[in-house]
Chains A and B, each alone.
Chain A
Amino acid sequence: MIVRIAFKNIWRNKLRSWTVIIATALGIFGGLAVISTATGLTDMRQNNAIRTYVSHIQIHDSAYLKYGGINDQLQNDQKIINGVSKIKQIKGVSSRLKVESFIQSAGGTSGLILNGINPNDEALVTDLHKKLQKGNYLETYKRKPPILISQRTAKKLNAKIKTSIQCSFTDSEGLPAAGVFKVVDIFQTSNSMYDDINAFVRIEDLKKISGLDESHEIAITVTNDNAVEQLKTNIEKMYPKVHVASWRGIAPELGYADKMMDLVMMIFLIIIMLALAFGIVNTMLMAVLERKKEIGMLISVGMNKRKVFWMIVWESIFLAFIAGPLGIVVSFVTIQFLGRHGIDLSFAAEGLRSVGLESTIFPSLNPTYYVIISVLVVTTAILSCLYPALKALKLNPAETLRTA
């Protein structure tokens, strides 16, 4: 009976109840929309970094990380590659030879890192092959060894496909070395800073020019993101003399962004819940003050205060139970839709690329957040109606019947 009266009570003032319900639902939707967009941005930045340059795990010679010397190569890199490739859950292994180079064409000069790669292996580790203008992934070339440069570098060098460019660097003997490469394709990733400082050549070509015979870096991707840390530990045990790092160690800023996002989400949730709490306190207080006489009558005729208290609590719960699912369903449908089709921010593409983001953002939300929001909405509703409910309990029936 108390529950039924409570439910009917919330429809006494339909306009007010719907205002609170819609405001709460919009609050939930707004909060979840922001959280999912921010999550989408963080995920995109993280995934882009992993798929573009970090990969899940990297192996280096310890001295290379410390000094970055051209001769600080991984000893017996092929043995490591073969060993790592046998591990289950490893998706791709690519060795890289990295040389700091001065690059020049007829139209300009630039400094960048020349990455010697095996195109087939690299394709299992990064998405570089998908970021090309023509799709020539160091495959088709004639006399001169092929090179891939970024669109930004091409602009700097005033170069285009088929332009010859010269790369100069110091070889393994410490002597000046140079090679002339032909641009076979131009790439553009979602990270303009990365594009500015990287170019790709075939590893055997770079080995020949530089006189180096091993690699500086082995990049690894895994099939299960959650297994990264465990696999890193396993590889460390297999090869204790080399330095093994997961993406969190290589690019800690990505992990920090993740943690910061958790904090931001927490703040947003608190704001949503505060808005909900104020809405409910206001509505229920109005409802109690408007019904002083009626509540006085209920106590007079024998409804104990515990029941009066629960009647008010149930009214709040009903408001939350209508607003909560409404907000959650609208949020879920919107996030699913935008998660599939994306939010087009191409008008700000250049700015987004400078921080490693693409222009289409795909919002995503961990399903746990829907559960958390549901629990928080009901908890907040109950907590925020306590004050109005306690106010109702303090009413003196004789006084309310006389004066209200």
Chain B
Amino acid sequence: MIKISNIQKTYDDGNIKVRALRGIDLEIKPGEFTAIVGPSGSGKTTLLNIIGGLDVPSAGSVLIGDTDIAKLTENELIDFRLNHIGFVFQSYNLIPVLTAKENVEFLMLLQKKSDEERDKRILKLLQAVGLEDQINKKPNEMSGGQQQRVAVARALASKPDFVLADEPTANLDSKSTANLLDIMLKLNEDENITFVFSTHDQRVIDRAKRVITVEDGKILKDELK
């Protein structure tokens, strides 16, 4: 369960103050498939970054389970992210020198998982995203859609409580987008994995089970489908 209360975020560069979030309250339950939508500059990425512990709020609390991540130190936060949150980025951000298998394995190595456990999970995850035959390919040998599917597998490798995806389909064509959404929906339905997206891609919005619209740093609409 993610529970955020009265989250505010102000960016201050000394000259100009920008209020990116103006008091957001939100609960996301396990197993949700939620899209945070809104125009550019609405605050959706900031909200996602705060939920993911990549950014700290100026005020308010972010409870993930029983942990208020706004109160964690930098190192505790990094550790928390490793063990509780999966990330999928707009431009995939795979490690270019590693193969698909190694990219997925990377987080489990950081978690010091055993060889056997790693091997089993890598195979399971790459099968789940339909890339079991691309296991030894490096990112530059794969298409954008394939890379993003590896990124999804990587996000799930550490068995996170939920996955945050920042505009995951922004760089994908229609076919790859549909394919990626199929995979994520299947993982959501079969394994009850929570996904939270920031997006303005209508194709994602159409398939999301909950759509939260953010505008000017506030929640404008929160619709359950």
Contacts and interface: CB of A to CB of B under 8 A. Distances in A.
B79 A8 contact: no
Contacts of B87: 297, 300-301
Interface in A255-312: 293-294, 297-305, 307
B82 interface: yes
Q: Of residues A299, A307, A401, which shows the largest number of chain B Cβ atoms within 10 Å of its Cβ?
A: A401
Interface of A is mostly: helix
A1 B158 CA distance: 16
A301 B87 CA distance: 6
Interface in B96-144: 96-98, 106-107, 109-110
B89 A297 contact: yes
Interface string B156-190: 00100000001000000000000000000000000
B95 interface: yes
B83 interface: yes
A27 interface: no
Interface residues of B, number: 28
Contact of A293 (B93, B97, B158): B93
B45 interface: yes
Q: Of residues B55, B98, B110, B166, which shows the largest number of chain A Cβ atoms within 10 Å of its Cβ?
A: B110
B55 A398 contact: yes
A139 B9 CA distance: 104
A45 B87 CA distance: 70
A1 B95 CA distance: 12
A338 B155 CA distance: 59
Contact of B97 (A5, A299, A307, A397): A5
A208 interface: no
A297 B110 contact: no
A294 B98 CA distance: 13
B52 interface: yes
Contacts of B110: 1, 302-303, 307
Contacts of A401: 54, 89, 93, 166
Contacts of B78: 299, 302-305
A402 interface: yes
A9 B98 CA distance: 9
Contact of A304 (B45, B75, B154): B75
Contacts of B42: none
A12 interface: yes
A397 B54 contact: yes
B3 interface: no
A294 B107 CA distance: 14
B49 interface: yes
B97 A300 contact: no
A8 B54 contact: no
26 contacts: A1-B106, A1-B110, A5-B97, A8-B97, A12-B96, A293-B93, A294-B96, A298-B95, A300-B54, A300-B87, A301-B87, A301-B154, A301-B155, A302-B78, A302-B79, A302-B82, A302-B83, A302-B158, A303-B78, A304-B78, A305-B74, A305-B78, A307-B110, A398-B55, A401-B93, A402-B45
Instruction: Sort A-B residue pairs by CB-CB distance and give the 4 closest, nearest first.
Output: A302-B82, A8-B97, A398-B54, A297-B93
